[in-house]
Each structure stands twice: as structure tokens, then as C-alpha cells.
Structure 1
Amino acid sequence: MKNKEERYYQQRLKKVQEEYAKAKSKVNRVSTYRLLAIIASAVIFYFLLKTTILFTAIAGVCILFGFYKLVKYHDKLSDDLELKTLLLKVIQNEIGVSDGKKSIYGNGAAFEDIKHPYTGDLDVFGEFSLFHKVNRAKTAGGLLALANSFLKNAGIEEVYQRQEAVKELEIKPEWRQNFQASLFSIENAGIEQLSALEKPPKLKFEGLIKAYFYIKWLVPFLIVAAFYFVGLTVGMSSIAFFLFLHYGISGANKELTAPYFSKIKGASRELDQYRLAVDLILDEKWSSSLLRNGKERIPETHSGQNPILSFKNIVKKIEMKDNQFAAFFLYLFSPFDLVQLVQLREWINKNPEFFEKILSSIARFELYGSLGTLAFNEKDWTYPVIEEDNRVNIKMVQAGHPLIAGAVCNDFDLGKTNQLSLITGSNMSGKSTFLRTTGCNILLAYLGAPVCAKEMIVSEGIQLYSYMRIKDSLQENASTFKAEIDKIRMLLTAMNSPKALVLVDEMLRGTNSEDKLKGSIAFLEEVIKKDAFAMVATHDLRTTEIAERYPEQVKNFYFEYDSKDGELTFDYLLKEGVCQSFNASELLRSVGLNV
């Protein structure tokens, strides 16, 4: 992240801090007004009791209505204040990342798979990973969408559609921050939890309960008629009868409804977070096809309101059953919770796969919002050109490792004339980093993101396979050499594909030097035989002689170091040819070994 972007975030932080201070002051003022309103209402009500009952009742209703509106206004201000708090965290995270601190978003460690063809070697998931650098998603769907984008190649048309979406969100930093803030406090919420709300249970006496859609308006007239035409005793008896009947129907269904009500309890608060995210999506006009389609995927309601708000309104009514004061009046006229449950099911039947559609849309905007943030933060990076080609073809100009701040950049072409590129060099000179530079930028290119390079052209559909970090496994009773054999078997199979690119860093480390040399040369011969593409880093100069036998397919490259006054320095620049100087002896002498 460069100075211009850092200044933007600092200015943005200052502006939101000022908005937060104003919002907090407003909340405090309204809280004071609420307290004063309670005191004033009590005093006014005291004097109203000295007037007529009718006037007192009317005035009392007006006071309660006014206080209700004041409470709702206070809640709205409190929600706005909370959103400002989360927005500050979003912006502070970007400032922290620019200062070299870890992002507070997930690092994707849950997606790590040590047997995957490349994710472990290329630092795709986990600490200091591509996923961690890119990710600004919170929902389970958003995290999965980003992970899958690293794991599955996109076709050329889809890559360009992704680039279009990323570019559109790149220039909407405030929208992205508000969207990320709206979901910030969600902890890995997924379709499973919310989809459970889409399955209300079948009820006993459901026909009778549905009849209450209309009967509930008749009940108050019956009660009033009992008081008016018969008398107080019958009127009170009618109240007791209806309460007993409605609570009885509700109790008969308790075993069926209790698990569902347990899931729905407090759901309105969580739904509020999704509602705000959906509002932001619906209120914006989108030009890129992927974002337009994401918006269109959100279910429409006949009233035109946010679909989550429609769902939430029914859920909030169900939650009112837990208010003991309100419950008396609610159950007086109907088995309230069951009536609302049936209405909720009918609403869900009209809106099938409601949450799946909404969460998939949110996940899409989280994915491209994450990539848009990356593009905004890394203005020096560039969007790659993806070309149709039935073979592997890569051209990189001033490409660096995307996870290394201030990385040294190199030019590199990989094509038919160097489909086997051998890279030699001393320890710590940059061989492994360069292999990862190539692999990571290919992954970013297919994401639709900008790459860490001034220019990059890459053929579509390259299938990456790597052999870099080798670990033994006590659990699987596998030695280091056995793990290496398994890797080689995987690579030999992969090289049958014309689109495979193999990245190898010092193969066969778990055996003796003679077998290592024989095995390495045999592997390189296999690369040529299969007409495959590979980049191989090695310390063994004898393997580089294969370029003399296959000059039209093999090229040698190297990294070197310099030694001055016992200090080793590296320029990390890739050069054509074979390295002639190695530093292992000097490094060993530096720790006290006499070599």
C-alpha cells in the first residue's frame, strides 16, 4: 500500500471518527430525553387521573405512543452508532495492514489441505497467506467463495467478467467499507444456521389455527358484547375462556414448536446485519454483469421492501410472545405464536430458497469486495491479460512476490523455448521465492485480481502443481523420502496434461547425493519426454547440463550473491545462465564450523 492510499485511509478515519462523536452525542441526548419523558409522563398522568376516565385513557394512549416512537428513534440512533463503531474497525484494519500488522479477517486456515497440489507450497491459506492478504469476507459463504476461487481455475471469459466486477468495486471504497462494516460482527454465519429458520414445523389443529387469520378480529367483539349485553361476570369469564383456549392450543404444540423457537430466538438481531448488507446492494446501481446478477438474485417482495425486513417482521412478532405484558393481550385474541408460525411458513413457501439466494448474493459481493480492496490498496499492481492458448505461456514484466512488501521484481517469460526452466543459485538467493512469485501471480490472475507486476500475460487454464515443502508424517507412517516419492508420482501424472505447470524446489532431499542426482536427471528427462512445462530450482549444477542436449526446450537461469568483508549480500535478480558461486560453506563457517 502506497502513501496515497495510506493518506486516504487516515483522512477517512478522521471523518468517521467525527461522525461517530456526533452520533454518540446524539444518542446520549436522546437517552436523556427518554428519562425526562418518563418523569414528565408520570407527572402528567398523575394530574390526568383527576379528570374524566375517557380523557385520561386517550391521553395515556397518546403518551405511550409518543414514548414508543422515542424508543424506536433511540434504537435507530444506537444502531447507527454501532455501525460507525464497526466502520472504524474496518478502516483501522486497513491502516494496520499498511503498517505491516496482521489483518483481523480470517486467514483461511480451515481450508488448508497438505495433500493439495499447490496450496501448501504457495502459501494460499493460513498465516502470511494470499487468502489472508485478500480476504475481507465474514460470512461462511463469502469465505468459501474466496477459497474456491483460489482452488478452481476460471475460463478466460469468466476471468474478464471478474476483472470488470473488481474494477467497479475498486472505485467504490466507501461502499465497500460500509458493506464490510454491516457484516463485521458476523462470526462465520452460514446457510445451515439460517436455513433452519426456513423449516417451521407442522402443527396440530393447523386448520383451526389458519381460521384464526379471520376469527382473531371477531374475538374482541364477542368479549365486548359479553360485557355489554350480559354483564361483568360473563365478560370476565369470556376473557378467561379465550386465554385458556389459546394457551391450550399453543401448549399442545409446544413439543413441536420449542426447538424451532429456540433457533429463532434472537434471530432478528442477526437478520438486521444481513438486512443492512442487502440494503446496500439493492440501493446501488451496478454496471458489471457479475454484480448485476448478484443483485438480481436477491428475492423481490410485492411491497418492494427489503426481503429480509419482510421475514424479520414476522420473526419479531413471534419473539413478542416472550414479553409477558404483551402476551396477555396477544393470546387473548388468538394462539398468537402459532398463527405467526403458519404465516411465516406461507411466506417461506412464496419465497423458496430465500436465505440461499440472499447469502449467495452477499457472498459474491464479499468476494469481489475483497478483491476490490486489494486492487485499491495496491495501485502499482496491474490487471493481467489472459490469452487463449492450448499450452502454457507466461510473460511477466517486473513481477514480485505479492506477500513481500518491497519485493525485488524480475522479468520472466515461460514458453516453448524454455518449457523446462532450471534455476540455480546459492542459499537464500531467491530461487524458492521466485517459484512462488510465479505461482502466486498466476492464482491472482485467475481470481480476476491485479497481479504484483507491471505487466503480465498468461494463458488460460494453467494447472499448477508444486513440489517444494516436504514433510514426513508420523500419523501416516510416511518418511520424508516416501512423501517425496508420492509428490513425484503426482507430478508425473500431472505432466500428461498440456496445461500443467510444475514448480519444483530441490527435489529428493531425503536420499543420498548419487540417487538424488540420478532421480533428478530422470525426472527432467521425463519433463522433456512428456513435452511438459516445469520450473525447477536446484543446487546441483550437473542437472543443468541437460540444456546442452535440449537447447530448444531447456534454459538455465540463476540467482547470485556477493560477499564483502564476510557479509553476504543478495540482489535477488534473475539472470540467464548457470550459477558458479555457492555460499553454504561461508554460512557454515559463520556459525563456527570449520569447513
Structure 2
Amino acid sequence: MSSAEKFYKENIENNKEQSNLLSTKVNLIGWSRLAVVVLCLIFDYILYKQNKLILAMISTTIFVVLFLFLIIYHNNIFERKKRFDILAKINEKGIKRLNGEFKEFEDDGTEYLDNGHSFINDLDIFGKNSVFQYINSTVTKGGREALVKLLKREKTLDKNEIMHNQKSIKELGLKAKWRQQIILEGTLEKSNDIDIKSLIQWSKKNSDSSSSPLRIAIAFTFMLVTAVFIYMCSMGLMPVSVLLLDLMVNYCVVKMLSKAMKEEFKLFDTIKRHVSVYSKILALIEDEDFESSYLAKLKAKLKDNNLSCKDEMKRLSAILDWMGNSAYNAYYLLLNVFLFSDVFLIKKLEKWRDKNGDRLEEWLEVMHEIDSLCSVANLSFDNEEWIYPTIINENELSVVSVGHPLIGKRAVKNTFALKGDQKVSLITGSNMSGKSTFLRTLGVNLFFAYIGAPVCAKEFSCGIMNIYTCMRTKDNLEESISSFYAEILRIKILIEACKKGERVFFLLDEIFKGTNSKDRHTGATVLIKQLIKYGGVGLVSTHDLELCSLEQENKHIINYNFREFYEDNKIKFDYILRRGKSETQNAIHLMKLAGIEII
């Protein structure tokens, strides 16, 4: 049992045990509340019968206080139980990742599939059974977007940045409990992206400080008048109807004074719970100690000598907790008409914005970045046998015992290298022997190396290159593009990238399969020579065994192959990569196994 599996199973057991204990308490408190109500009715009835009304009122008050205490205690216990239930589910998700059951996860990032991207569709970065579905545990929309940008390689990291990411991901991988606390806080209340953007826009606005003192003065004046009216009513010097009229006037005045903040109030009422969650996540980040320089640099943005993000976000959350919708909240309505709460909340919010408005976006960006890196850290924690690759300056690739990360324990490991004079490897083999899977194995691991993640190998060294693939070309009926022409267009993009001087690593699977064998051979020969000429490095899988003769003609080309074998008239594969060209074929045998009569 791996340490990750042991960790997840122990946490599942402990969290479920704690949840069950709290379930017992929840039920007990529920019955206690009912008992308090019944006892209150019994005592009140007895005291009423004995004409002890004052004692009845005292008794009722005591029972009401006790009932309210039980409600608060019940809610706290229920909240704790909810947290243990979520933690159990987080660890269960970890077990599913280990068992290769991640394809059950709901969020697979299908919306980010892009036929025009240089590799994400072919390497299963997004969609069903994808890298994104495997690693994603982000709990903020901004964190999810940051992870998507990382997986798309929208920003190409240099050697130093990759090294910083490696150290950060390795450190975060070791902080499994801390990462789960972030997931827990974020899972309790999912964020709304458009509202967060609106919050950032609000934070950058300039406060109208000129009108604030006047609003406060008006509020104090009307509060003083209301206090006088309350006193006069209590002394019997004025009818209550006048006080009610005064409160109606107060309501209208409050609405007039807060009219300019109407849209902001709607925003705050929508996102106040999200701000509370973000406040807790940022506090977790600020309170944590980091050794890696990149994480320490991110944390440093949350705190300086005079300001703490944790304290300021907690203060903002506390301000927003006072907010409510007066159309639905009677208590908040009373606060408004008696104490002009909206006016003073506006003042507090403007004061908070003046102090922290310029920093809020940066604070959220730090949270989003760490949220995304925590997802990548799942690879580090779940796969302790994986290694961090060595980044070299040459356009080379050398791997020992490399396996496909998404296949898991079932993956067959192979050793491979393209270095020195070797620039292109021709991969031959019969149908289903493992050629396409091997190309994706190298591609996904190379991609992991470039984002600073560990790779599924014993040894792995590579130069930094841009990945280009041509593996799953499809026709496009709307644009009248056949699959063959779609393949041509992708290869054109690859050639142009090489000509522009990009450091290119390509993966081409069964190129030119949409034309006759002579055209396929001629086209592949021309393409391979062009790729070598312009500095491209990569692999080409093919059924065209005649291409393998290029190894004798060109020192930059090397042949590898996969083979099949037969047992009890059944075809089998070992998926082992071997030097040289393939010498076997299996199309006829596969047709026979499928029940097709061979005449």
C-alpha cells in the first residue's frame, strides 16, 4: 500500500467516524429541542392554572433562551459534521484517482477542447479521461482558469521557472492535509466568477468622499429624532402612530442616501458568502510556512509590515455579514429604520476600499495561482515513485522506464532516447501494438515536465520545446475540409513553426493515411527530411515499412518497433519498444478473429 493510499484510507475512516459521532449528537439535540418546547408548554400551563403569571413569563423566557442555545449548538454541530463529510469525500476522490477511476469526476474541461491547438486534443489534456479530469481539484473559478492556462501552456516557462514550479509542486504535494483544508473551505461555498470580477471592478473605483460626511450627518440627525420620538412615546407624550410615520420617513431617507450604492449592495448580498470563504482560504495561505522561493514570493504579496491580507479580508467579510436584503429580512429592515445601517456600512466599505482596493486583485491572483498549483501537486502526492525531470539546454529527449500517466499501474514502461545526431524516430508495428499510446506517453510526460510536474518514469531529461501533434485529425463538413486535408493543415503549421526557428518536438501518428501508399511514402519522406532540415525533433509512427530504409540513408533517423505474438491462436501484445523496424503484420489475423471470412 502506497503512503498516499494509506493516508486517504485513514482519513476516510477517521472522518466518517467523527461524522457518525456528530450524527448522534445532532439527533440528541433535535430531541432535546422538542423536549424543551414540551416542557415549556407544561410549565406554562401549570403556572397559568396557579395564576402565577410572572413565574410563567420567567419560565417561558428561560426555555426560549435554552431553545435558542440549542439551535445555535445544533447548527455548530451540523456544520462540523458537514466538514467531516466533505473531507471524507475529498479523500474518497483521492482513492479514485489512485485506482484510475477519475473518469467518473464530473468536471472534465470538455469546453476547452480545441482542434486548432498544437497538442491538447491529441494528448487528452481536456475532455473525458483527460489530464484535467485527473488532477483538477480547484475550488475557485479563478483557480480553475489559472490551471487551464497552465495546461494550455499559454505562457511558456523557461528553465528557471520550471525549476521553481517543480520545487513548489513538490512542497505542496507534501502538504496534503493543508491542501485538503483549502478544498474544504472552497467546497463549502462555490464561487461565482462574474461576481468576483465585479468585486474587483468595485475595488478599483474611487470613493466619493465628499458626500460621505453629509450622509453620516443626515443619518445621525434622523436617528436623534427617532430616539426623541421613542422616549416621548414611552412617556405617553405622543401617539405611537407618529413614531411609525417617523420610521417610514427613515426608510425613505435610507433608500435615498444609499441609492448610489444600489448595484453594489446587490453585488455584496450575492457574494458575501464567497468573500467569507476566500477570506478563510487566504488566511490558510498567509499562515502557512513555505520553503520554495516561488511559494514564499506569492505569500509575501499577502502581507507587509503594516498590512495583513488575512486581517483585512476578515474585516471585509465581517462588514458584509451585516448586510441583508431588507425586502426579505425583517431584522435588517429594523436596523435600517432605527440605526441607518446601510449608510454606515457604505462608510465602512468605502474606508476598506480606500485602504485595500489596489491590493484585492493581487490577493485573489495569489489564491488562484496556489489553488491551481495544488491541483498539479496531486500528481506529486499520489505518485511517490514518479520523478522530477532534468531540464537540459539541448533539443533532446532521454527516458528510462517511462509509462503513460493516465493508465496508471497497467502502463507498460519503455526506455527511449533521441539525442546527439538522432532527430527523428520512426515507430513501426502492427495494429494495436502500442504505437499511438507510446507517442502519447512521451507527449503527456513531456508536457508534465514543462509545467513543473513530476513524470511517470525512472529517469527523464529533455530540452524545452514546443509540442506539436498530428494524431486525431477529423473532417469538418461545415468548412468542407476532409480529414486528409485537416492533416495537411496541421502539418503545415508544424513546418511553419520549424521554419520560424521554434524549438519543436512533434508527434505524428500514421501520417498521410488518407491517400494511396505511393503518395503516403513520398509525402512522408519529404516531410521527415524537411523537419530534420529545419531542426525539428520527434516521432513518426507508420505502417509504411519502406520508410525504415531512411535510417541507412540519414544518420538523424532511428527505427523502433512494437510487436505482437500468438498464444492458442490468439493475438497478444507485450507493448515493449524494440530497436529496428517491425517484421510482423496482423491485419488478416484480426479480421479472422472478428469473424470475417477470408476468401
- After TM superposition, is the score higher than 0.5? yes
1:41 positional shift: 6.9
Cα distance, 1:572 vs structure 2: 1.2
- Report SS of the residue matched to 2:157: coil
Per-residue deviation, residues 40-70 of structure 1 (Å, max 9, x unmatched): 67788997996889xx89x999987776665
- CA contact 2:469–2:506 (8 Å) conserved in 1: yes
Identity of aligned residues (%): 28
| Corresponding position of 2:215 | 209
Query: What's the counterpart of residue 557 of structure 1?
Result: 560
CA distance in 2 between counterparts of 1:586 and 1:306 reads: 71
Q: Is the 8 A contact 1:465 1:494 kept in 2?
A: no
Specify the SS of the correspondent of 1:579: coil
What are the residue-to-residue correspondences of 1:557-576 with 2, within 5 Å?
557-576=560-579
Inter-partner Cα distance in structure 2 for 1:494 and 1:65 = 74
> What is the deviation of 1:479?
1.0
| Partner residue, 1:541 | 545
Change (3 A) 1:68 1:281: farther
Q: Given that residues 219 and 343 in structure 2 are in contact (C-alpha distance below 8 angstroms), is that contact kept between their aligned partners in structure 1?
A: no
CA displacement, residues 467-497 of structure 1 (integer Å, 9 cap, x when unaligned):
1111000122111121122112111112233
Match of 2:167 in 1: 164
Query: Which stretch has the larger CA shift, 252-261 or 93-102?
Result: 252-261
Distance 1:332 1:265, change over 3 A: closer
Change (3 A) 1:329 1:588: closer
Aligned position for 1:222: 228
**Counterpart code for 2:526:** A
Partner of 1:145: helix, strand, or coil? helix
Which residue in 1 is equivalent to 2:143?
142
Residues 403-450 of structure 1 deviation map (CA, whole Å, 9 limit, x = unaligned): 113211111111232111111111111111111111110111122211
Aligned residues: 585
Which residue does 1:494 correspond to in 2? Answer: 497
Determine which of 239, 252, 257 is the counterpart of 2:243: 239
Q: CA deviation at 1:247?
A: 1.0
Q: Is the 8 A contact 2:164 2:293 kept in 1?
A: yes
Do the aligned partners of residues 418 and 213 (structure 1) sit closer, same or farther apart at CA in structure 2, a change above 3 Å counting?
farther
1:251 Cα offset (Å): 4.0
Q: Contact 1:318/1:341 (CA < 8 Å) preserved in 2?
A: no
Superposition deviation, residue 347 in structure 1:
1.8
Q: Secondary structure at the match of 2:296?
A: helix
Q: What is residue 528 of structure 1 aligned with on the other side?
A: 532
In the alignment, structure 1 residue 264 sits paired with structure 2 residue 268: yes
Identify which range, 192-201 or 111-120, moves more after superposition: 192-201
Map 1:166-315 onto structure 2 (within 5 A).
Answer: 166-187=169-190, 189-197=191-199, 199=202, 208-211=214-217, 214-215=220-221, 218-219=224-225, 221-223=227-229, 226-227=232-233, 232-234=236-238, 236=240, 239-252=243-256, 259-265=263-269, 267-298=271-302, 306-315=311-320
Distance 1:481 1:305 in 2: 57
CA drift of 1:532 comes to 2.2
Are residues 495 and 145 of structure 1, via their aligned partners in 2, closer, same or farther at CA, if it must alter by over 3 Å? same
Distance in 2, matches of 1:39 and 1:278, equals 45
Mapped to 2, the partners of 1:83 and 1:379 lie a distance apart of: 28
Partner of 1:74: 74
Distance 1:215 1:78 in 2: 44
Q: Which amino acid aligns with 1:421?
A: S
Q: Which of these residues, 317, 325, 332, is aligned with residue 322 of structure 2?
A: 317
1:185-224: CA deviations, max 9, x gaps? 555x354322324539999986542325755764565345
- The gaps in structure 2 that reach 5 residues or longer are none
Partner of 2:96: 96
- Are 1:362 and 2:371 counterparts? no
List gaps (5 residues or longer) in structure 1: none
Q: Is the 8 A contact 1:93 1:103 kept in 2?
A: no
Match of 2:120 in 1: 119
Give the SS at the match of 2:75.
Answer: helix
What is the one-letter code of the residue matched to 1:337? D
Partner of 1:106: 107
What is the one-letter code of the residue matched to 1:347?
A: W
**Given the alignment of the two structures, is residue 393 of structure 1 paired with residue 396 of structure 2, yes or no?**
yes
Q: Where do residues 378-417 of structure 1 align in structure 2 (5 Å cutoff)? A: 378-387=383-392, 389=393, 391-405=394-408, 406-417=410-421
- Taking the aligned partners of 2:480 and 2:242, their CA distance within structure 1 comes to 77
Deviation at 1:343, TM superposition (A): 2.7
Q: Which residue of 2 aligns with 1:85?
A: 85
Cα distance in 1 between the residues matched to 2:122 and 2:307: 51
Query: Could you say if the C-alpha distance between residues 365 and 50 of structure 1 is closer, same or farther in structure 2, counting changes exceeding 3 Å?
Result: farther
Measured after TM superposition, the shift of residue 505 of structure 1 is 0.9
Q: Decide whether aligned partners of structure 1 residues 64 and 463 sit closer, same or farther in structure 2, where only a CA change above 3 A counts.
A: same
**2:482 equivalent in structure 1:** 479
Paired residue secondary structure (2:94): helix
- The answer to whether the 8 Å contact 1:294/1:361 transfers is yes
Aligned equivalent of 1:12: 11
Moved more, 295-304 or 462-471: 295-304
**Partners of 1:306 and 1:322 in 2: how far apart?**
31
Cα distance, 1:105 vs structure 2: 5.3
1:496-515 matched pairs, under 5 angstroms: 496=499, 497=501, 499-515=503-519
Task: State how far apart, in whole Å, the 1-side matches of 2:13 and 2:3 are.
Answer: 16
Q: TM-score, normalised by structure 1?
A: 0.88
Q: Which moved more, 1:207-216 or 1:155-164?
A: 207-216
Quick check: 2:119–2:469 contact (8 Å CA) kept in 1? yes
CA distance in 2, matches of 1:304, 1:381: 36
Change in CA separation of 1:168 and 1:86 when aligned onto 2, cut-off 3 Å: same
> How far apart, in 1, do the equivalents of 2:479 and 2:217 lie?
64
Q: What is the deviation of 1:363?
A: 2.0
Counterpart CA distance in 2 for 1:572 and 1:324 is 66
Structure 1 stretch displaced more, 247-256 or 375-384: 247-256
Range 85-94 or range 323-332, more displaced:
323-332
Q: Which residue of 2 aligns with 1:26?
A: 25
Shift of 1:558: 1.2
Q: Distance in 2 between matches of 1:190 and 1:63?
A: 41
Shift of 1:127: 0.7
Residues 254 and 337 in structure 2, CA contact (< 8 A), matched pair in contact too: no
SS at match of 2:78: helix
Aligned CA distance change for structure 1 residues 219 and 364 (closer, same or farther; 3 Å): farther
- Counterparts of 1:144 and 1:191, CA distance in 2: 10
Higher mean C-alpha displacement, 44-53 vs 572-581: 44-53
Corresponding residue number in structure 2 for 1:131: 132
Q: What is the CA-CA distance between 1:92 and the residue it aligns to?
A: 1.4
The residue type paired with residue 414 of structure 1 is: L
CA RMSD of aligned residues (A): 3.4
Name the TM-score, length of structure 2 as normaliser.
0.87
Q: Secondary structure at the match of 2:21?
A: helix
